[in-house]
């Protein structure tokens, strides 16, 4: 596509690389959300092709916002619960020192944060007791049950263990899959950045990034740009 052949941008975003990684592939034309039409370049074999010029523009806008957020020491929560992205989300978040949700979104994570926080505190206390060998006074069966509970709590709350308050913004990998997180964020006035494939309503979020939200190569490219921005922006001491 001629539109994709551009020089690298100030954020080192390369449309040709994006095309190679499949960021421009949307869904079948029958699945289009009307509000995504302005981001469509054309069609290929009944599949909508996303205009990568706009992907570049919207991704840069999102990265500028993230840069500002991190420079002000505000909190960005990364949310991606699709099975194929769970490890990627955890790795990127860990490397960036960001809180994350890569399992099922628990209702109330934002709207009833104090309740969630109590469960997280219990989880952390249980972890501490195990580390300090305080659980050794229990029977083997009781310790086994506590280990199972710890594993379950880690799955549910491991990514938000260090979250002391509601995030200032969230980054969503799939608007349809994690619509509950979007609804909670909107209710609390929290800014939302999200990858917007051709089958979703981009107006639900503050910073939509038109791109393929199914391919690991596409999502990884975007998340790597987010990670680079976060790491470059954080103070040296952190």
pLDDT in tens, 55-104: 999 999 999 999 999 999 999 999 999 999 999 999 999 999 999 999 99
Residues 182 and 99 in one domain: yes
Residues 151 and 101 in one domain: no
Residues 119 and 76 in one domain: no
Coil, helix or strand at residue 47: strand
Neighbouring CB atoms inside 10 A of 12's CB total 9
Rounded to the nearest 10 degrees, the angle between the axes of helix 216-233 and helix 86-96 is 10
Task: Produce one character per residue of 193-203: b if its CB has 16 or more CB atoms within 10 Å, e if not.
Answer: bbbbbbbbbbe
Residue 134: its pLDDT value, please?
A: 86
User: Which residues form the domain of 125?
Assistant: 113-160
Residue 10: its pLDDT value, please?
A: 55
Q: Do 65 and 58 meet the contact criterion of CB atoms below 8 Å apart?
A: no
pLDDT in tens, 153-187: 999 999 999 999 999 999 999 999 999 999 999 99
Residues 42 and 81 in one domain: yes
Task: Write out the two tokens for 68.
Answer: 């500002």
Rounded mean pLDDT, 4-14: 57
Residues 58 and 176 in one domain: yes
Residues 33 and 89 in one domain: yes
pLDDT in tens, 90-141: 999 999 999 999 999 999 999 999 999 999 999 999 999 988 888 888 888 9
pTM for this predicted structure: 0.91
Which residue reads 């699945």 in tokens? 31
Residue 96 sits in a domain of what CATH number? Answer: 3.40.50.10490
Q: Is the pLDDT of residue 2 over 50?
A: no
Residues 223 and 119 in one domain: no
Rounded mean pLDDT, 138-151: 92
Q: Tell me the Ramachandran region of residue 9: left when phi exceeds 0, alpha when psi lies from -120 to 50, beta otherwise.
A: beta
Show the 3-state SS of 217-235.
Answer: HHHHHHHHHHHHHHHHHCC
Cα distance between residue 174 and residue 102, in whole Å: 12
Rounded mean pLDDT, 37-59: 96
Cα distance between residue 5 and residue 20, in whole Å: 12
Q: Could you tell me if residue 199 is inside a domain?
A: yes
Q: Could you tell me if residue 175 is inside a domain?
A: yes
pLDDT band at residue 12 under the 50/70/90 scheme: confident
Q: Could you tell me if residue 238 is inside a domain?
A: no
Q: How many CA atoms lie within 13 A of 97 on its CB side?
A: 12
């Amino acid at each position: 596509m001629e539109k994709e052949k551009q020089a690298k941008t100030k954020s080192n975003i390369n449309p040709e690389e994006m095309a190679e990684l499949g960021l421009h592939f949307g869904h079948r034309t029958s699945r289009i959300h009307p509000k995504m039409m302005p981001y469509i370049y054309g069609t290929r074999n009944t599949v909508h092709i996303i205009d990568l010029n706009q992907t570049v523009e919207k991704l840069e806008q999102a990265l500028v916002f993230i840069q500002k957020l991190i420079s002000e020491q505000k909190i960005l929560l990364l949310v991606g619960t699709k099975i194929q992205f769970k490890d990627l989300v955890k790795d990127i978040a860990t490397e960036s020192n960001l809180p994350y949700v890569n399992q099922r979104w628990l209702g109330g994570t934002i709207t009833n944060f104090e309740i969630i926080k109590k469960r997280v505190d219990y989880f952390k206390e249980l972890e501490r007791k195990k580390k300090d060998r305080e659980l050794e006074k229990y029977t083997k069966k009781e310790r086994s049950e506590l280990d199972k509970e710890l594993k379950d709590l880690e799955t549910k709350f491991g990514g938000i263990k260090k979250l002391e308050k509601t995030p200032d913004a969230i980054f969503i990998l799939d608007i349809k899959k994690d619509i509950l997180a979007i609804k909670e964020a909107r209710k609390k006035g929290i800014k939302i950045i999200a990858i917007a494939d051709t089958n979703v309503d981009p107006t639900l979020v503050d910073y939509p990034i038109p791109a393929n939200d199914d391919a690991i190569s596409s999502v990884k490219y975007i998340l790597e740009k987010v990670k680079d921005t976060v790491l470059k922006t954080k103070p040296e001491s952190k």
